[in-house]
Amino acid sequence: MITTTTVNPTIVIENLAQENESFHNDLKEIFEINTQVGWGRFNRGSMTRRAYSDPCPYLVAKVGEAVAGYIISEKNYEGQAYIPFIATNPDFQGQGIGKKLMLAAIENARKDGRTGVVFKYRGNKDHLKKFYTETIPTLAKCTFTTEDHGKFMNGDPKVGVNYEI
Ligand SMILES: CC(C)(COP(=O)(O)OP(=O)(O)OC[C@H]1O[C@@H](n2cnc3c(N)ncnc32)[C@H](O)[C@@H]1OP(=O)(O)O)[C@@H](O)C(=O)NCCC(=O)NCCS
């Protein structure tokens, strides 16, 4: 009898860094993830500039050699960690990669002495609301506030979140 076992892939969170041999390929795969989640090319310029800045603000989730997801976390003018982008390749969604990326960014922000972790999300997406306002604050053991930031360009409600870390 043949039995098959599904093994959770090993997910490794690492810094994206120009000195890594895989840097250019990793960046290519990050842009491929953007295409797959429907973000197109509009943010490619700002994301490329961020990738070449020092220190590089990206964390990537690797499964083997492949980039399965990424998060950007950079210092804003108020000394907080600001997260402009997080995304997981749809083939790997629902496997805990988003949680690992957010928790790693929060942990880094704590180590760096940031006063909070801030970002915006689409308030009409129930899975995002649960992820950002229940799952992550519980796992990271942090309180948070939310604020109405108006609307995204397509009319989706823009909710600002501030994790107090
Ligand atoms: C948001 C996102 C980064 C989460 O990444 P992920 O690797 O799937 O995250 P996880 O596997 O850790 O799952 C996080 C939660 O989302 C849920 N989830 C994941 N994919 C889902 C989907 N397609 N539909 C509904 N819920 C989903 C998981 O069940 C989990 O729920 P929980 O909070 O109850 O535990 C990912 O869905 C994504 O890249 N979305 C498209 C881009 C995007 O919207 N980015 C965020 C902009 S604010």
Identify the pLDDT of residue 9. Answer: 73
In a domain, 160, yes or no: yes
**pLDDT class of 40 with cuts at 50, 70, 90:** confident
**Minimum CA distance residue for ligand 1 atom 12:** 96
Count of domains in the chain? 1
- CA–centroid distance, residue 26 to ligand 1 (Å): 21
Task: Give the CA count within 13 Å in the CB-facing half-sphere of 102.
Answer: 25
CATH of the domain at 24: 3.40.630.30
Q: Which of residues 4 and 92 earns the better pLDDT score? A: 92
Cα 104 to middle of ligand 1, angstroms: 16
What's the pTM value of the predicted model, to 2 decimals? 0.94
pLDDT at 70: 98
Does residue 58 form part of some domain? Answer: yes
Mean pLDDT of the chain: 94
For residue 5, is it within any domain? no
The residue assigned the tokens 């399965």 is 68
- Tell me how far the alpha carbon of residue 103 lies from the centroid of ligand 1, in angstroms: 14
Spatial contact of 76 and 88, defined as CB atoms under 8 Å apart: no
Instruction: Say what percent of the chain tops pLDDT 90.
Output: 93
Helical ranges in 52-135 per DSSP H: 97-111, 126-130
Q: Are 108 and 73 in contact (CB under 8 A)?
A: yes
Does residue 7 register a pLDDT over 90? no
Residues 135-155 have pLDDT tens digits of: 999 999 999 999 999 999 999
In a domain, 6, yes or no: no
Rounded mean pLDDT, 99-120: 97
Instruction: Judge whether residue 103 has pLDDT over 80.
Output: yes
**In which domain, by residue range, is 107 found?**
12-164
Say if CB 111 and CB 147 are below 8 A apart: no
Give the span between the Cα atoms of 90 and 112, in whole angstroms: 31
pLDDT for the residue numbered 151: 98
Ligand 1 pocket check: which of 88, 128, 138, 159 to mutate, most ligand atoms within 8 Å of Cβ?
A: 88
Q: Is residue 44 part of a domain?
A: yes
Q: List ligand 1's pocket residues with C-beta within 6 A.
A: 37, 69, 86-88, 93-99, 121, 127-128, 130-131, 135
Ligand 1 centre distance from Cα of residue 82 (Å):
19
Backbone angles phi and psi of 91, in degrees to 5: -65, -20
Contact between residue 134 and residue 140 where contact means Cβ atoms under 8 Å apart: no
What pLDDT sits at residue 10? 92
71 lies in some domain: yes
Q: Which residues of 4-34 are buried (b: 16+ CB within 10 A; e: fewer)?
A: eeeeebebebeebeeeeebeeebbebbbebb
Report H helices in the chain. 23-36, 44-51, 97-111, 126-130, 136-140
